[in-house]
Homo-oligomer: A and B are copies of this chain.
Amino acid sequence: MPPERSPGDEGTHTVEVSAEQAARETALVEQVVASFEGAESPRLKQLMQALTRHLHAFAREVRLTEEEWGGAIDFLTRAGHITTETRQEFVLLSDTLGLSMQTIAINNEAYQDATEATVFGPFFVEGAPRIDNGADLAFGAAGQPCWVEGRVTGTDGNPVSGARIEVWEADEDGFYDVQYDDGRTAARAHLFSDQDGTYRFWGITPTPYPIPYDGPVGEMLQAVGRSPMRTSHLHFMVSAEGSRTLVTHIFVDGCDYLDRDSVFGVKESLIKDFVLQPPGTPTPDGRDIGEREWASVRFDIVLAPA
């Protein structure tokens, strides 16, 4: 019986080496795999053995040179050194290799009409301020005012009240608060859905922004001719007792980068119509925002059961 194929390795290629060379390389793989036999946790054993097989298969397939190996060590080292509490280069690496999105896909299997998940990204911060429904979470962040409203329900159609809704976004210059040096908290907050599942808040209209590209991940993107831009989006994390926590974004329909999000996060169902409102258009809550253009968007959220 032929050995089973691992999923997703279709399209990889076998390289010609001498039988003795191949035997040596295979023997080494098996030696490393065997070294994990003593792991107390069967899951850890499985993870390390599978990691070993795929990592060695990669190196053998491409005939990784020592110089390339050194380049990879250097890349990881620089990624480690640029990483701080607020800059996570390894998350960016995972994001730009599509691994983050694949992990999301694996862990959020389609469930009826539950809202689709997308990447978490590196800019979520624990402890963002709580706002009341209808309040403004911009906290002075520059950008066009944007009214966001919707309703949280379960896949059974019943409203979910008291769902915790975390929202975070970049300002119109493309920066999250934590990317500034001044310790500001802006364009992020959490709120809770009302008794009938509805929620509403003022934020700012999302604009495209680059992921941080002044580090090794940025160099990689440049070397392969990829843009660091993310499709305009607003982050949500929605949690409620008895429901699967949803981490997602909504994306702005018509954004230039819809088809080449640098982290592969866009899903058709998450593209929303952000309706531009001419200056002077009355606001939904009567708020006076002066003679400015603003936008509004509706995002109804359907949570899968936990």
Q: B17 near A6 (CB under 8 angstroms)?
A: no
Q: A9 near B7 (CB under 8 angstroms)?
A: no
A57-B54 contact in complex given A8-B26, A39-B225, A107-B66, C-beta closer than 8 Å: yes
Q: B224 near A25 (CB under 8 angstroms)?
A: no
A32 CA to B96 CA, complexed, in Å? 8
Q: Is A10 an interface position by the 8 A CB rule?
A: yes
A3-B11 contact in complex given A40-B223, A76-B90, C-beta closer than 8 Å: yes
Which secondary structure characterizes the binding site on chain A? helix
Q: Is A139 an interface position by the 8 A CB rule?
A: no
Q: Is A164 an interface position by the 8 A CB rule?
A: no
Q: Which of B8, B53, B224 touches A56 (beta carbons < 8 Å)?
A: B8
Q: B99 near A55 (CB under 8 angstroms)?
A: yes
Q: How many copies does the complex hold?
A: 2
Interface residue tally of chain A, by bracket?
35 or more
Q: B3 near A10 (CB under 8 angstroms)?
A: yes
Q: Which of B62, B88, B102 touches A77 (beta carbons < 8 Å)?
A: B88
Q: Which residues of B contact A102 (CB under 8 A)?
A: 25, 28-29, 56, 59-60
Considering the complex, give the chain B residue whose CB is closest to the CB of A40: B225
Binds B, one of A43-51, A167-175, A196-204, A295-303: A43-51
Considering the complex, give the chain B residue whose CB is closest to the CB of A60: B7
A199 CA to B77 CA, complexed, in Å? 37
Q: Mark A3-29, 1 if CB is under 8 A from B, else 0.
A: 111111111111101101110111011
Q: Which residues of B contact A225 (CB under 8 A)?
A: 38-40
Interface residues of A in 209-228 (CB under 8 A from B): 220, 223-226
Q: Which residues of B contact A251 (CB under 8 A)?
A: none
Considering the complex, give the chain B residue whose CB is closest to the CB of A67: B107
Q: Which of B28, B83, B103 touches A69 (beta carbons < 8 Å)?
A: B103
Q: Which of B45, B64, B80, B260 touches A76 (beta carbons < 8 Å)?
A: B80
A12-B50 contact in complex given A80-B76, A100-B69, A226-B38, C-beta closer than 8 Å: yes
A54 CA to B121 CA, complexed, in Å? 22
Q: Which residues of B contact A155 (CB under 8 A)?
A: none
Q: Is A125 an interface position by the 8 A CB rule?
A: no
Q: Which of B6, B18, B64, B260 touches A13 (beta carbons < 8 Å)?
A: B6
Q: A58 near B62 (CB under 8 angstroms)?
A: no
A54 CA to B54 CA, complexed, in Å? 5
Chain A to chain B contacts (Cβ below 8 Å), 11 pairs: A7-B26, A17-B109, A28-B98, A36-B224, A38-B224, A50-B62, A51-B97, A52-B98, A64-B106, A73-B94, A77-B80
Q: Contacts A17-B109, A79-B80 known; list 4 others, CB within 8 Å.
A: A5-B5, A20-B110, A65-B103, A73-B90
